[in-house]
Each structure stands twice: as C-alpha cells, then as structure tokens.
Amino acid sequence: MTRYIPRAANVGCSRCLRALRGADWALVRLERKMMKTARPILFAIASIALSQNALADTYKVATLGDGAYAPCINSGPGSFECVSLRDAITDANATGTDDRIMLESGVHQLMQVGYDDTNAAGDLDIGPAGGALTIQGSGPGTVIDASTLFNSPDRVIHVLPGAKVELLDFGVTNGQIWPAIYVPTVGGGILNEGSATIVRVEIYGNYVAGVNKQDGGGGIANAGSMALIRSVVYRNAVHGGSGGGVLTLPGADMVLDTTLLVDNVAEMGWGGGLSALGKTHVWNGSIDHNSAHWGGGGVYADNAGSDLNIDYSSITNNATTGWAIDGGGGLLADLPTTTVQLTNSTISSNTATSFGGGLRALNNAAVKLTHVSHINNVDPAGNGVDCWGQCVFSESIVDDQCASAVTAVGRNLDSGTTCGFSITAAPSLGVLASVGATDGHLPGPASPALGASSACPALDQSFAPRSIPCALGALE
C-alpha cells in the first residue's frame, strides 16, 4: 500500500498555483478566474442568511489551542469569549439558538485525542441540539489542522444528523480515517450527515483508508445535504474506496458550485476527484489532474439514484492508473440505474490505461451529452469514448475516437468516422485554455462547428451568450 502523506497546514497546491509562483492559497486561482466570469452562481452567496444574522450569538475564539474544556465567558449582549474552537462548538451545541463562531487567523490545532460524537475529543462534532451554526474564518491564514491526532487519527469536522452548519473562509487539513476505527470509513476532512453550506473553504491533505466503494471521500464525504461553493478540494486521497476528493453517499444530495477538484487520488479505488453514489450536481466546476486506479480518474458515477448532472464545467487532465476493465480516464458511469447528463461542458486531455480515455459507460448506464466538447482523450487502443451503455450525443464535438458508434441526436461533429456522426471534419479548435472558472477549447475562425447548431441554449460553457445558429460543442 502506498501511504498518502498529508501536507503541512497552510501549504498551497502547486498545480493550482503554478501561475502564481508560490502563493499558498489555492482559492486565489479560483477567485482570479472568477473575476473573468460575470454570472449568478447556482446558490447565490447572498442567500446565506445566517452569517449576516445580527440576532445570532457570536463566539470569538481567543487562542489557537485545544486544551481541556473551559466554558466561554459572556462578554456582552450576544457576545462570548472562548479559549478554543472546541470550547466554542461545545457551548454552541447546547444553546438551541442560531450562533456564529469567529476564528482568528492562524492554525487551529486539534489536540484532544479520542473518539466520540460529543465534541470532547478527536474531530469537531457539530450537533443538532443547537440552532444553525456558522463558523467564520479570516481567509487564507485560517486553518483547522488535525495532524496532532496522528497517533489516534480522526477527521477534522463531523456534522451530525439533524445539524445545520455554514463553514466560511478557512482551510481543513490533515484529517485521517481508518477502517479499524470507523465504519463506514468516510470523510477524511469533513463528514456531513446533516445540512451543510461550505463557502470559500480549502480542503487539502486529508486521507481515508477504505474497503469498498462506499468508503472514501478523502476530502469530503456527504451523507446529508450539502452545497460546496467557490471552494478548492485538492491533494486528498482514498485507498481502497472511492472519491479521493469528494464522495456523495447513497441517499444524499450535493451541489458543487464554482468549485475546483484538483490533484486528488483514489489509490486502488474509483473516482479520483469525485464519486457520485448519490444525487450530485456540478455547476461551473473544474475537475482537473485527479487519478484513480480502477476507474473514473476524474469522476465516478454508480449506484441506484446516483443522478449526476454536470453543467458549464470541465473534466480535464485526469487519468486511470491501473490495468482494469473499468477505465474512464475522465468519467466512468456504471450500472443501469445510473444517469449522467453533461451540458455545455468540456471533457479533454484525459487518459485511461484500459478503456475509454475520456468517457466509459458500463452495464447499460445512461449518459447524455449536450453541447459537449470531447477532445484529445485516449486509451491504449486510441479511443476517447468507450460506451457499453446508453450514450447519447447531441450538438456535440468528438475530436478523438469512439470504440464503436454511439447514439447521435441532432447534429454532431466527429473528426473521424468512428462515432457515426452526421458531420465528419477536423473541428479546428484552439488549445485547452482557461475560460472563466473552467477550461475549454475555443473554435477557430474556420471551424466547421461554428453556426452548425440550431438547438442553442442561451449561454455557452463560459456563460457567454450564444448566437443563433450557434456553435456545436461547449464554446462559441
């Protein structure tokens, strides 16, 4: 087994920040990309009401330590001073009212060794007895770090069933979950079993040692309702499970809005960036440079009810690394009860060591691709698309190979003849480049994709207005 070594707290993602020359906050990359994109996010930041609620009690954390419990001290109407973050959560759990915890900049180190769901030791347990809770960090310098729990490893944050929480503006790192301690083994950084909204949070360097596909979520495991907004999940890992970065469990509901999943790994597992075993919606997201041993280097979708929608997003530079029948360097969809829909999105430059460099569908899984650009993906046989399911392409471009003909609706463009599309020509697209918060290939001025579609959504992948007629694929 190759052990994943968590990174030290507050050390940034080198791939995320390769253009920023050593900056240590991966959110900077996302924010800079977002400055180029004027559009309402799926879950508007303005809708997050609790963090603006003047009636909520406020707990201010005075130190970075994690000693024995000491009650927070009332310092004025609706205001409390707390020695540690753990103390603040313990008191907020008992109030029955909405509360806000304000974190000072610095590394808040978890030090109380043990396992419980009472918040006395190990991870930070947010319970249902209190009202809704907001934990507000100070931005790049604020980190919650579980590395000191290494001899008795635990995750960083656990949102218990029935609890409601908002996490804003801090980092989560060095959580670990092992099968001898936790069943199921899920959520190295954060496990949500309640209702969670996570905004501008960096989740990195967390690890889960799993046994089966429902173990995992190296960075985040969601078993409840979650919205992950304008956040970065990177350099997390799972061994023997699924979802190196993020795992949506069966029966759960998850939205990833304007979020980057990068450099996550599923060792001996599936879904390097994302494993969707429950209902999942990716909106304006970038899933980049993740890897998985068995299948779904970028994304894995499996299980009854695991409806996965990917809109205005990119799946790029992901890979499978083991020789197995599963494959799908960019995306693997499995089982006939699995439904995947991609719209205005790019699948590019992914590789598989077995089958389907970009897309693999198995066991009659249903995958519908509308205005999708599927470009430069490859497996050992040279194929980008390998479909043993119900793969339907509409108004899309494939500039690699299909292992066999797929279902085509409307007009589609194939650079060869392997997919069975109505238009066969070189698509003349530009190189993979940043387009707002995601990545894609802009059509060149002589591209046959331009003006070839009469089924035109209002916007393209970058949220630019489409003309009528519009271009095939993801971008005008």
The answer to whether 26 touches 38, Cβ cutoff 8 Å, is no
Domain locations along the chain: 175-476
Model confidence pLDDT, tens digit, residues 340-358: 999 999 999 999 999 999 9
Q: For residue 151, what pLDDT is reported?
A: 78
The CA-based angle 205-209-210, given to 5 degrees, is 130
Radius of gyration of the CA atoms of the chain, in A: 22
Across 33-42, 254-263, 406-415, least confident range: 33-42
Candidates 162, 282, 156; CA nearest to 231 is 282
| pLDDT at residue number 6 | 33
Tell me the whole-structure pTM to 2 decimals. 0.91
Give all strands (DSSP E) within 277-313, no chain letters: 279-283, 286-288, 291-292, 299-301, 308-311
Average pLDDT, the chain: 89
Weakest mean pLDDT among 7-11, 174-178, 341-345, 367-371: 7-11
> Which two tokens mark 50?
């609790």
